[in-house]
Every structure is written in structure tokens, then in C-alpha cells.
Chains A and B, each alone.
Chain A
Amino acid sequence: MASLQLEIVTPDHLVLSKEVDYVGAPGVEGEFGIMASHIPFLSALAIGGLHYKAEGKTRFVFISGGFAEVSDNKVTILAESAEEAECIDTARADEARKRAEARLTAKNENTNNLRAEAALTRAVTRLNLANRG
């Protein structure tokens, strides 16, 4: 069976480049799974956890939205930030969660609710993944 190459890139660095058996990613219209020989596919990603299986193990990576491109047995994830579950800074995420919650409960007219909610989702997802991975 053809193998599948997974590459996760952020503006600051290449997070991951590795051969995998399966990739499950959080698309904006629902989670999707990719295996080798998938047809070309382009999707926007939501904030969430991406997981992949390699050497019989499942690993998780946090993705803060972005895009996934699949072609020629290669999955390229473009994300603004991405961290492997074991690299997540839980203290910082917890901090961010508290900040976002405070902003949402304060109901200040100046706060951008959409942005605060997105920040909250990011923080909570990070924490969940860190606990799982």
C-alpha cells in the first residue's frame, strides 16, 4: 500500500513531517479522515485536534484553524499555529482560558465577542488535547 506523507507547516516553522497511515483532521464542515490514495482534496480547518496514526500509535496535534491540502499521497496542513500534544504549554493555555472567560463575562462593549470566543475555544482545545496526549 502506498504510504501517506503528513506535513504540518506554520509561518514560524515546520512542525512535523512524517510518514503516517491515517490522518484525521477537524474540517470546518466536520471531521474527515485521510488514508493513502485519497483523491486531491482541499479543505478549511476549524480549531481543534488533528490526529494521525503511525507505527501503530495515535498522536494528537493542536491546530488553530488553517487549511489542509491532499494530493499525491501527501497531506499538507497550513496552520497559523500548531503544537504536538506533548508540547502544549498547559500553564499558558490555562492562563489564556481564564483571560478569555473574563473577557466574555465582563460584557464590555469594546470586546470583540467573536474573537474572545475563538480564544476560549483555542485554549480549551489545547487543554483537552494536552490531557489526552
Chain B
Amino acid sequence: MSTAEQYLKPEVINQIKRLDLRAQFVVKGFLQGLHSSPFHGFSVEFSEHRRYTVGDDPNDIDWLVYAKTDKYYVKKFEAETNITGYLVMDLSESMGYTYRQDLTKFDYAICLAASLGYLMIHQQDPVGLVTFGEKIQGSLAPRSKRTQLSTILSQLSKLSPTGRTDIARSLAQTAALLKHRSLLMIFSDLLADPDPVLQALMQLRHAGHDVILFHVLDEAEVRFPFHGMVEMIDPETGDKIAVDADGMRDDYLSELESFRRRYKEKCSRARIDYVELDTSMPFDKALLEYLLMRQARF
């Protein structure tokens, strides 16, 4: 393994404290592994009209087209020829968990988001940032300038996972927030009732946005490595359950698998990219997912 590629490992990247360097090393490691330039073929001009949907600014309606077709179309600008990306970060307290890994789910997600932001800025794609807990807590408008990267990284480094989360509500708010067709890269552990979340995701899709859902779980949440009697405490709600970990493992894994399968099926049906991640996995999987998505769009 080359030196750059090793930065794709969470335990290695953890040794680098500066987030910008982390992003840089991850992307470089990733690109070195691809053996081909990701920039090639992505600068395609693009302009179009699209059907007006609820949430669009009525000022954007192209009345000339309306006159011709008697239907509402929203006028797309040339600025949209580059993909506009939003890094949507879950700030719930559960994201700050790890059992025995070097990075918490939140660290992992931030590292990943930084890398994707780095990648996009270098592709001259505008990148914005949305953070949410029970509601949207902060946002950064997308820009493609070089300074945008440092702004995003600065913003990310200040984030801290606290409190409870309402993913569905936050996503609905995000959908209302976006005026243009964008690529939403959502980083969350999705530990909430899946039905509203899926509904919100569908809403995003209906608004014409592309969505990549990075489902970030801790390695312990994926493997359930506990033994004997354990009392488990939910950090968000404070709920406690004493279980026989060995007897529970199969049931837990089955339940998790069922949960993931449900997301996978629903997302697949809605053409949402659902990416299963855990904190022990290298970052390239997430980056590759992004590039594949971009390639599919152009």
C-alpha cells in the first residue's frame, strides 16, 4: 500500500489532527487508488427547464414557457451546470459514540464530509453545509471558491454532537431550504423511526434533488461484540436495558440487517444512493460513491 492510500484508513487519519490535511490526504489517497483522473469529463455545460414543484420560488417560473405550454416550468441558470453539493450533517448525541474505534461516528462523518468537500471544491463544484439536530442548526451556502473549503472545514471543526435528533423534520426543512437541484450528501446514523425519515427522503427526491445517504454506524453497532450480561444505555434518551449479550447477538444483528435492508430497498426504489458505513471502514467507499453519482448525472 502506498503512503497516500493508507490515509484512507480511519486509524491512520486519526493521527492527523488538522481537518484540512485530513481531507487532503484522504482525497489524495483515494485518487491515487483510482489510477485515473476524476476531473476528466465532468465539465459539461448544462441548462434546462424543469417542472415547477412545491417549494420552488415562484419568481423562478419561466412565463414564456408557460405561455407556450400552459404549464409551469422553472428556469435553470447556467450556474447549475456544475453540481451543487450539500454536506448534511447529523449532530445528534448518538453520532458521538464509538465503542472501541479511534473515530466516533461523528469524527468519521466529518472526516468524510471534509474529504468530499475538498474533492468537490477541487472540481469547482459549489459545496454547502447543513447541520441538524432536532432541526436545522446551521447552514452554509454553496460556493465553489477555494476559500469555501476553509470555511466549511472551519465550520465542521466547531461542530459537536449533542442532544436528540429529528432527522425527518430536519430533512424536510433542508428540502425547503434548497432552491436549486442539488446533491445532498447526508451523514447520519439514522437511529430514529425510519418511516418519517424515508418520507422526508422521498420528498427530497420529488424536489429533484439527488441524495447520497451515508449511514454511518459504529463498528460495535454493526458487529455487537459484547459478552455476558450488559446493561445498555441509550445516550440520547437515557433508556436502559440489561441483556445477555451472547444470547442477544443474533437477534440484534438480524434486526439491524432488517433495518438496513429496508432503507436499502426504499432508497433503491427512489434512486437514492444508500451507503452502509461503519467506523472501521476505509473512506474510499464513500468517496467512490460520490464520484459514481456525479458520473451518472453527467
A complexed with B: no
Interface, chain B (partner A; CB < 8 A): none
Interface, chain A (partner B; CB < 8 A): none
